[in-house]
Every structure is written in C-alpha cells, then in structure tokens.
Structure 1
Amino acid sequence: MEYSVIKEGDLFLLTDLNGDIALDDENGHGLYTKDTRFLSRMDVQIDGEKPALLSSSSDKSYVASIRLMKNEKDKGAIEIHRERFIYDGVLYERFILSNYFLDAVDFDFSVSFDSDFQDMFIVRKYRTGEVGQIVERFWSPESIAIRYRGADRIERSTQIKWKTDVNDVSVDEQENVHFKVHLDPKEERQICFLITPMIDGKGGTALTFEEGLKRLHQSYENWVSDTAQAESDSDLFNGLFARGVQDLRMLLTDVGYGDTPVAGLPWFAVPFGRDSLITSLFMLPLNPKLAQGTLRTLAAHQGTKTDPWRDEQPGKIMHELRFGELVNTKQSPFSPYYGTVDSTPLFLVLISEYVRWTGDFSLVEELQPNIERALAWIDQAEQAGKGFLTYHQEAEKGFPNQGWKDSANSIVHESGHYAASPIALSEVQGYVYHAKKGLAAVYRAMGQTDRAEPLETQAAQLKSRFEEAFWMEDEQFYAIALDKDQNKVHSVTSNPGHLLMGELPSSERAASVAKRLLRQDMFSGFGIRTMSTDDIGYYPMSYHNGSVWPHDNGMILLGLSRMGFKEEASRVISALLDASSAFEYQRLPELFCGHGADVGYLVQYPTTCSPQAWAAATSIVFLQAMLGIEPDALTKTIKLGPALPESMNELTARDIRIGEGVISINVTRTGKDSYKVEVPVNTTGFEIVVV
C-alpha cells in the first residue's frame, strides 16, 4: 500500500508512508471519525527539513511502526522511531529520537498540526456544500485545541497534548510545536502526543502510552480467544487466516447496536448493508454471535417511508450510513441511503443462516417485525417487477446499478449496450429464494406453520420462474440479469455463481454452472473473474467487468461446497492462496486485475480498499469450504465434507461454535480425494455426518 492506516472503533488515521499528513494534502490523509477529518496536518521536520523514510510497517493491523532519519553521509544520523495506535477514541503517537553521531547534537524537532473538520465527501471531492467554520484556536506549551462549529450546529474540536522529557518546548502561531533537543551519542528522548477528537464536548479518555497499548493488545488477545482457530501444514493459509482474523477485529465498529463490520479502509469505515451482511455471513464459522450486531444495526435503520431522494421504501434495508456534516444538513442522502436491491434479501439470508449455526430463536422473535417488513417489501417489489426483484434509480445522487456490481457499466448486453432499468439481477433472485426457503424452515421449527407454508410456495414458484427466464441454453449458464423488457442480458459473469449458495439450480444445471466458472475464460488461475474474457464488455483492469474479487469468489465457494463440488472449490481456494502471496502482509484486497496466471505474475488493481472486510473474511470461507462444514441446528446435525487444496495435507480447526457448544476437527489427507476426519471435541450434542 502507498499509505499507512490504522483503526480502532470509530476512529481511523490515514497518512503517507512517512506517517505524515502533509500541508495541502491531496490524498485525503487525516484523522477521521463520524465522517469528519479532525486532523488535516501532522508532519515532522528536523531543523526545517523532512526526514527520510527508512521503513514503514503495520505487521499488526492496529499498530504502525515507522522509522525516519536525518543523516550526514558516513558521519551518523538522527533516527526517529514513530509508533502509533488508537484506543478508546484517542490517537497515541510516540516519537523516539536517537543520536547515532559520534558527538553530541542539538537540533529543532518540530511537529506541525492543523484541523479543517471537512466532511469526508468534500475531502474526496465527491460532494460540495455549505459548511461551518473554525471559531477558536488555542495553544500553550502543553497543548493545542482547535474548535469548529458546523452548519449542522454540532461543535467539533481537536485536542492535542504531549508529554516529553525534552525541556525546551514552544508553540508558534501556525500550530507548529518545536522541541529544542540535545542528545549525547547513543542518547534517546521521547515525545508522546495524545490527540482526541471531541464532538459536542465528548471524546475518549487518554491513558499513558504504555497502558493504552497494553489494553489494546489485550483486546486483540480476547478477540482471538473468543473466535475459532485454524492451522494447517500450509504457511500460505495460516498467514492468510491469521491476517484475516486480525483485520476483521480492526474493522468492527459499534454505532449503538453492537459490533458491525464496516466495509473497508480508508473510505468506507461505516456500516453498509450488503458489505456488512456478506462479511457477517462469512464470519459465522469464526463466531456466529458476531452477526447479532450487524442484524440489529440494520434492523434499527430499516426503511419506514417512501423517500425517493434516499431511495427509501418501507421495509427496505439500507445500503450505506454516513454521519458527516453534509448528511446532517440534508445536503447528502446518505443518512442512510437505501439504493441497493440486495441488502434486504441478504438481511433475511443472514438471519436464517445464523439460526442454522446457533439455534437462537430469541433473535428471530426480537427481529420478527423487521423480518416481516422486509418480506413485505420484497413481495411488493416482485409484483412491480413482474415476478422478480428489480431495481431502478430514484435518487438523483444515487447509484444507477444497485447490486454488488454497482458501477454504471456493469450490466452490459452482448451488443455492448448497457441494460435499461428496471433490472432483475440473477444473484438477487437467488438471495430471495435462499431467504424464503431458509426462513420457512425457521418458522416451521418455531411452530409458525402459517408463515412457513406461503414462504415455501413462493420460493418454489420463484425457482420455476427463474429457471425459465434466466437460463441461456447456448452457454449452459444463467444470464446476469433481465432488462426492463425482461430480455436476458446475454453475458457470462460470476453473478450466477452465487445461486449455488441458496441451492436454487437443479443438480444438473448447478454442475454446468460450476464447470463453466472454472473454464479458462472465467478462471484466471488467481480466481474467478467477474466477466468472461470472451464477452464484449471484458476489460481485465475494470472494476466489475473482468477483475477478480475475493468476496465474489467467497460467495461462489460457499455454494460449491454446499452443493458438493469439492474439486472446483479446491481449485478456487488454491488460486486465491497463490494470489495472496503477492500482497503486502498477505492481505487480500478488495479486488485485483483479471489478467491470467499465464502472464507469470498477478497484476494488482491501481486503487483498492485494503484492508477490506469481505475480502478479509474470505479466509474464513476457505476454512468452511475445506472442512465442508454445514451445521443445522434445526435438525441437530453437522455435515462434514472435507476437501483440501493440493498444497495442503493437514488441517485443524478448534473451538468452532455451533448451537450451545463447540466442535474441533482434524482433517488428514489419506489419498488424492480421501480424508481421515477426527472430531476430538464436540460439546454441541449434534450428530456428525461425514460425506
């Protein structure tokens, strides 16, 4: 990455690799919370010069370590070691200054600060609007404070304090803090900054650097102990899994209803409908109770009225929730914005899958009003869409395409023309089928037969309509979508692969889909592409028309595993494991280019979120698919159908939470396609079925 980023809770810091936020920065660097930039400058100098970068590392997702120097060739250097983390709403930044000259040195070490309190949409040049102004700047030898009164009448301020063993400290009128430092040879001095964003006078509580770091470390240790663990004889998988679990912890945020995974850093550190739901779905094997925060957060923001400006409708699940000044003053529709067609069925899918893992009917009872409103929205939308769930942009500043491939050019006919809306996406119909079938089983188990039976009937009818309308006989594959006239959008894409997760296709057609996804035009060798290389819309560096998205492959993997396509699942896992080795910290990014492995190396996408939640959670899908684990708390069974990639012969998973207990599993390869399965721990009371 060409940047350094750390996050904890609702606060994140984005800087250049030196650790700086430069004056007049054009890259959006800053310290952010609630979609507001509370620090727009933080750069260091020694005697008025910018020190050179030695190294910049974030081996741990939540701590950054940066080394800088100012040197004289063959004489020595002043080294600066920057360490930073965030805890309880406070940014901690420690500088350790070391003298590697033969003689004592005296120098001016300065740190420059500023805060512009810009809305993130303005920083990104995504929106403009009327905003507030800075009303006070205060500085002293111990602190700086900058106060801003927004157009939304919210008072925001940035409090900057420091502790140091340097005696001579001063602050000038430009918020430059100067430390007159004397260092003997090999001597060190420390300066620690504590930076606290405040909203209406409320902010985090500062601790000592050591105590804050200790508590942060402990929170990550607690996270690991509360989640499933996995290890294998593949270093690639072990590294990817560990990184994914750590990044997922960093990407959790509580906006009032429990921890929810935000979409990704740096620009999407807020709850999303689709992204948070898919990430939570992937995280079920890690600890299924983690889904509760996502479900409660989205239920709390479920649509209640018809508002075309926000694409809101009663019962609809939101797309994206923002908190900045433009949203608060109704200059932006993201408060929240509802322009997505798949969040609502995915909300129901996650509930049904959560129950399969936990048997927790109490959450269903709690959210049943939300469930029923979501089902009512789907039914009404299906009637308007001639039997399918469709979308059409209503909001002037919304999205023209409202599935996960939401770029304007993602739904393209074989003629090269874009499909006209209302559009019915293939995978969305699969989510609806999955949701209704899954909820019907849950309602039956709860004794609500009157609700189960109509859902079963509706699911069967949707399956029949879908098979007739979407199947492309010449391709032996499903179309990505139907356009406004219900004509097939004749493109071969990854979208129909999601159908396998809900088991909508017949076994024969499912086999065709699995086979087609692994053909050379779709399978790059590093993963399944979003679009076939044979299609007119294919472009390997596009966002959605030929690139490879790890989460897209993850959704397909869940279906391949569930429907028994073990060989295909293993090939996809092997490809993505190989791909992971090309990325810093073995962190799968949001997406990468669709060039095939035949070029000899993976081609990275120019701009991408990293870390990104559903990409990080794809490593958890690998574990689920390799174990072939399918728990069903409704029947008290756990199905295991292991299939390891070629590079792996042993896999151990511990403390997978199912029902009221845990299960640990050992898988050992005994032949090309045969495995020994051991279950040393099973406190679930469920029957184990190995297939």
Structure 2
Amino acid sequence: MSAHTLVRGTTFLITGDAANATAGTEGFYLDDTRHLSHWEFSAGGAALRVLNESRDRHSTSTILTPATARHDDPGYTVFRDQALGAGTLVEHIRVRSHLAVPGTVTVSFRFAADFADQFELRGTGHYERPGKHSSITRAHGEVLLAYERADYRKWTVLRASAEPVVADGQIGWTLELPPHGEVSLRVEVLAGEGEPVPDPGAHPAVFADVVREAQADTEEFLAGVTVPAWPELRSAVEAGLADLANLRLPAPGRPDLRIPGAGVPWFLTLFGRDSLITSISALPYSPDLAAHTLRALAAVQGQVLDPARIEEPGKIVHEVRRGELSRFGQVPYGQYYGTVDATPLFLVLLGRHRRVAGNGVAIELEAAARAAVDWMFGHGGLAEHGYLVYHTDGPGLVHQCWKDSARSICFANGELATGPIAVSEAQGYAYEALVSTAELARDVWHDPAFADRLLARAARLRSDFETEFWLPGEDFVALALDGRRRRVDALASNAGHVLWSGILPAGRAQQVGHRLTEPAFFSGWGVRTLAAGQIPYHPVSYHNGGVWPHDTAIAVAGLARAGLTAEATYLAEGLLAAAARQPGNRLPEVMTGYARSEIPRPVRYPHSASPQAWAAAAPLLIATALGSSEEDSAWS
C-alpha cells in the first residue's frame, strides 16, 4: 500500500500499511514538528491482515482481521477509522466477534514521539537538538509525551474512552467480546506547544463529530461555487477545491485569517509565492481566500534591513516557520524573505482581487502596496539593474525564484548561472504589478501622478525585456540574465509565466506559445520545466525536466492570453488526463518528464508533495483561462 495523507490546517498524518505510521517520514505532525514518530495498532499481540482500505479527504477506514491460514476463519474483524481535527488525531476502533461464545482479545497501540523538526526529516542536514524528552503516565492512563529546550516546549497527549495499561511505549486493553457482538474503543492524540497542557480525564473526541466538523468546514468553503461542465475539468476542479479547503490554515500572528498552506509534508505554512499563486488561481472561486492571503502577507511585510533573513523594507516574505530549528536560528527560515517574486505577485493579486471583489482591500492595503512598489524600485533592483534581481550568495536559498533548487538556473550547455540574476518570469510579474498598481493608483487611491510613473516604468520594462531576453535563433525567451548580463539560454517553462503576465508583444507571445506545445516541452501530461534534448535536461529532476501542474496551468493561461486557445486546450487536456489517473483526481506537486507516448501513465517525481496548494489550484486556473467558469477571467 502507498502512503496516505490526511490534512487539516497545520495538522497532518502520514500513514502506510494498515493505517500505521512506522517508517521513514510517516507520523502525526503539527506546525513543522512530528508529534508521533511511531503509531501502530495490533490485536492479539500481532499485526493484522488488511482486507480493505477506504480513504477520502476527511478520514481513513481500514478493515482488518488476524492473519489466519488459508482455510481457517478469523475469530473477529477490526474496523479502524481515523480522522483529524485541529491538533488532534481521533481513532475509532470496533472489534466484531464472529464466534458463538464469549471471548477476549487484546488490542494495543505502540507509540513513540521524536518531536523531530521537518527540516531534519526532509534530509537537509544533521542538527544538534539538545532538548529533553519526557514521558509521564497521568490519571486515567493518559500519557503525556514532551520535549523541552529552554522556553520551547512541544507535547503530545494520548487518551482513550477506556483506561489502558501503559507499559514500554504501548497502551493496551483487554476487550471482552460477547457472542457475535461488538466492542468499541475511542483513542485521541492531541498535539500542542507551551502551556497549558490539557488536564487528564476529558472524554476523547468522537470520530463522527470530527468528520462532520471537517465536512461542514469544506462545504462552507465550497458554498456558492459553480464548477465547469467539462467532465474531466469538473472532477479536477472539485478535487482541487476540496484539497484547498483542508490546506487552509491560520495565518502567523493572525488566527482570524485562513490562508492556503503550500503543501504536505514540508511546506504546510505561509509561503509568499505559493500562497499568492494559489490565491490568484482560485480567485474567481474564493475572493475571500485571496483577501486573507493579502492581509496575512501585509502583516509580515519586511520592515528593516536584516541580511540574515534577507529582509528589506516593503519586501513580501518567502516563508514563516514554527519548528525548533527555526526558533533557535539553526536554519534561517523562521521568517525568511529570500524571494524575488512574492512582492510583485502581491501587487498582482491585489489588483486582480479589486477587479473581482471591489475596492475595500485595495484601500485597506494601500500603504503595504506602496511599500512593495518602493521595494521593487529599490532593493528589488528595478532602478539599479533595470530588472528585479536576486543575489546567489546570501543565507538560505541559492535561487530565490520558483525554481529554487541549486542547479535550476543554468545555460543550455549545463553551466550554472551566477548572480545577480534576473529570471524571466519575475520581470513578467513586475510588469503586471506595475500595470495593476497603476490602475489602483488612478481609480482607487486617486493619485494619477503615481499611476503615470508606474505605467511609464512598465512600458520601459516591456521594451527592455523584449530586447534583452529574446533568443532570436530560438523564437523564445531566455530563462534569465546572469550577473554579466548574458542571456541564460536554456529553454525552460518559465516562458509560460512570461506569457501569463502579458509582458511580451502579441507576435512574440505567439511564437513562444507554439514552442511550448512542441514534443520537447510537452510530455503529453504537461509542460516540462526544461525542454528535452538539452544537456541539463533530466526526466526525474525537480526543476530540470519534471512536470509541475501549476506550471502547466500557468502556461495554459498564458497561451489563452496570447490568443492561442486551441494550443491552451491541448495542454489542458494532457494535465486533466494526468489528474484523472491519480487517486481522487489529486494532482501531485510534480511528475517526471517521461513522455506519455512512452509510458501511458503519469509517473510521480519521487519526493513529490501531496496535497499541494498550487497543484490543487491548477485546474481552477485552467477553468478560468479557458472560460469554463461563470466568472470572468482573473487575467482578462
């Protein structure tokens, strides 16, 4: 059985066989921390045989029996149900006897809590963690597991509807089974930090109530949404909306705001770029999600110069973390600003939200928007370099664009680009940001002089971009300009983002659009991040050949904006075919670049996150771009 993920806000559970968490990165998580590293159910002192597993976005149901010989009938069946609440895992165990006489059966959960930070688990390095672990058995057989380091404290509580025997990392019960009868047991795992820890003696949550609450929350998010009629698109949109509902989490420092966390397992927090692109993609379906994202990002907008975090006044944050390693400065990502594109995307979303939902948020966030514009002209590089640029020698990420792996920005011959780097898509975002903000300045803030200044700079950026980024022998745009102003000539999917922004003149845009549909780019499932046939291309590469659903959806929107509707539909059909071949129509973070003509099913990238917000939102962007939603296009 493959791993399965349940997610509810900042809480998630990864399980493997028999709904247990026993290996690798499996476990129960909250806020970047693994609160259970081992969670394994058994009955009769042994593992059980799985008869059936039923999984949806709110719960997992598993049917198990003892592993008997071929012609021996099992004496009982176990029905195991799991669901998540905020900081809570609920287990409902039912044991049904198949015997005509009374009997007993022992059932147990083996547990362990390493309280590991997600950066440690994802393999980014070895880190010292000098904190103290403790395990206490409290009244009613409740177990309190804790980890403390200075004033940092994480805890996990195990409690049940019947008092267990606690011994050697295990809680267990002896159940009395009536003839052909059934006995049930409820177990709850609670996770948290600091104080207070829940007092012992409370009844564990009821599985049905937890599921009902999750379903009601999703239904509220989906209320009033109109989905497209195209069957494949409809299924993908419905799946994406359901995932987005569960990925919403309280914004850092603003629990009244719910924003899209970027994805499970390693990105379930506020990410500037991811949350913004997700909100743009979902804008016609949920303007409130966009408004919450804008307010949350404005609340943590850069205020000072802090080279350790790459913070600069007006800059929009890259990510906010709450784990141990961030807290103690062992990684720079507690509140990290290493992103060149989140700031213009903030302005783009603000302008697009105003077109859909009116002036309110644009008026509220005028100061934040003006600060973002100031950053683009100042520390962002527009005034000094003519483009938005980032440097490759700072703390944290080498590349501060959406392709943020170390080898992603490269020449066609494989040479790695060095900074300051101006990636193509960031210039497109900057162009759209200047145009959108000029519209706000003129129509909402009543500042025509500011609007004129922004439009003049947008026109200059558009002209300079065509001159310096165009690859005349390729009918394509360069991936970037490097620190020596050389065109980084690898043919990359970033060009789809360029089309999406409208920075290219119509003729150039159509040339680029046609190239994105060629076999070197289009795998049959989506657009490869790097066109096949180039030296650095690799089909099982995160950014140098893999296929990202959000990236393909942006290319679809870009083609549609360029007037290439047939070509946009062609790409969309491939991505929707990939979605139809995924469990629950859930698109993964990234797929490999293998051609559909070679392998008739999409192959996931080995470390692909799922669910992931901008992958979930990709079908929504496609629906809007192709006019399959009743709302107007957010990019019209």
TM-score tier by shorter-chain length is over 0.9
Superposed counterparts of 1:166-185, under 5 Å: 170-185=164-179
Query: What does the per-residue CA deviation read over 1:162-187, in whole Å, with 9 as the maximum and x for residues that have no partner?
Result: 114xxxx5423324112112324532
Residue 41 (structure 2) aligns with: 44
Which has the larger displacement, 442-451 or 8-17? 8-17
Which has the larger displacement, 436-445 or 88-97? 88-97
**Cα separation, partners in 2 of 1:203 and 1:510, compared to 1, 3 Å:** farther
Deviation of 1:481 (Å)? 0.6
Structure 1: how far apart are the matches of 2:336 and 2:429?
21
The answer to whether 1:546 aligns with 2:545 is yes
Deviation of 1:103 (Å)? 5.5
The answer to whether the Cα contact below 8 Å between 2:135 and 2:143 also exists between their aligned partners in 1 is: no
Which has the larger displacement, 114-123 or 329-338? 114-123
The answer to whether the Cα contact below 8 Å between 2:165 and 2:173 also exists between their aligned partners in 1 is: no
Give the match's secondary structure for 1:431: helix
Deviation of 1:53 (Å)? 2.5
CA RMSD of aligned residues (A): 2.2
Structure 1: how far apart are the matches of 2:403 and 2:346?
18
The answer to whether 1:55 aligns with 2:47 is no
Superposed counterparts of 1:149-188, under 5 Å: 149-151=148-150, 153-164=151-162, 170-188=164-182
The answer to whether the Cα contact below 8 Å between 1:526 and 1:597 also exists between their aligned partners in 2 is: yes
Deviation of 1:40 (Å)? 2.2
Superposed counterparts of 1:339-358, under 5 Å: 339-358=338-357
Residue 2 (structure 1) aligns with: 2
Residue 567 (structure 1) aligns with: 566
The answer to whether the Cα contact below 8 Å between 1:85 and 1:91 also exists between their aligned partners in 2 is: yes
Residue 445 (structure 1) aligns with: 443
1:39 partner amino acid:
L
Give the match's secondary structure for 1:2: coil
Structure 2: how far apart are the matches of 1:38 and 1:124?
16
Deviation of 1:341 (Å)? 1.0
Q: Which has the higher strand share?
A: 1
Deviation of 1:489 (Å)? 0.9
Give the match's secondary structure for 1:598: coil
Give the match's secondary structure for 2:17: coil
**Cα separation, partners in 2 of 1:148 and 1:99, compared to 1, 3 Å:** same
Q: Which residue of 357, 364, 372 maps to 1:366?
A: 364
Structure 2: how far apart are the matches of 1:511 and 1:233?
26
Deviation of 1:628 (Å)? 6.5
Deviation of 1:131 (Å)? 3.6
2:278 partner amino acid:
T
**Cα separation, partners in 2 of 1:64 and 1:145, compared to 1, 3 Å:** same
Query: What does the per-residue CA deviation read over 1:177-218, in whole Å, with 9 as the maximum and x for residues that have no partner?
Result: 121123245322111112211322247896433333322222
Give the match's secondary structure for 2:227: strand
Give the match's secondary structure for 2:407: coil
Structure 2: how far apart are the matches of 1:198 and 1:323?
12
Residue 224 (structure 1) aligns with: 222
Structure 1: how far apart are the matches of 2:160 and 2:179?
25
Superposed counterparts of 1:465-544, under 5 Å: 465-544=464-543
Give the match's secondary structure for 2:336: coil
Residue 246 (structure 1) aligns with: 242
The answer to whether the Cα contact below 8 Å between 1:89 and 1:203 also exists between their aligned partners in 2 is: no
Structure 1: how far apart are the matches of 2:522 and 2:465?
25
TM-score (norm 2): 0.93
Structure 1: how far apart are the matches of 2:221 and 2:629?
22
**Cα separation, partners in 2 of 1:358 and 1:556, compared to 1, 3 Å:** same
TM-score (norm 1): 0.86
Give the match's secondary structure for 2:335: coil
Where does the alignment leave 5 or more consecutive residues of structure 1 unmatched?
Answer: 632-637, 642-688
Structure 2: how far apart are the matches of 1:13 and 1:600?
31
**Cα separation, partners in 2 of 1:177 and 1:63, compared to 1, 3 Å:** same
Give the match's secondary structure for 1:293: helix
Structure 1: how far apart are the matches of 2:285 and 2:630?
14
Structure 2: how far apart are the matches of 1:618 and 1:366?
29
Residue 608 (structure 2) aligns with: 608
The answer to whether the Cα contact below 8 Å between 1:562 and 1:628 also exists between their aligned partners in 2 is: no
1:110 partner amino acid:
S
**Cα separation, partners in 2 of 1:247 and 1:383, compared to 1, 3 Å:** closer
Query: What does the per-residue CA deviation read over 1:502-561, in whole Å, with 9 as the maximum and x for residues that have no partner?
Result: 211111111101111111211112111111113221111111112111100111222222
Where does the alignment leave 5 or more consecutive residues of structure 2 unmatched?
Answer: none
Q: Which residue of 164, 183, 192 maps to 2:186?
A: 192
Give the match's secondary structure for 2:79: strand
Which has the larger displacement, 322-331 or 619-628? 619-628
Share of identical aligned residues, percent? 33
**Cα separation, partners in 2 of 1:161 and 1:308, compared to 1, 3 Å:** same
1:55 partner amino acid:
N
1:211 partner amino acid:
D
Deviation of 1:90 (Å)? 2.3
Structure 2: how far apart are the matches of 1:533 and 1:135?
53
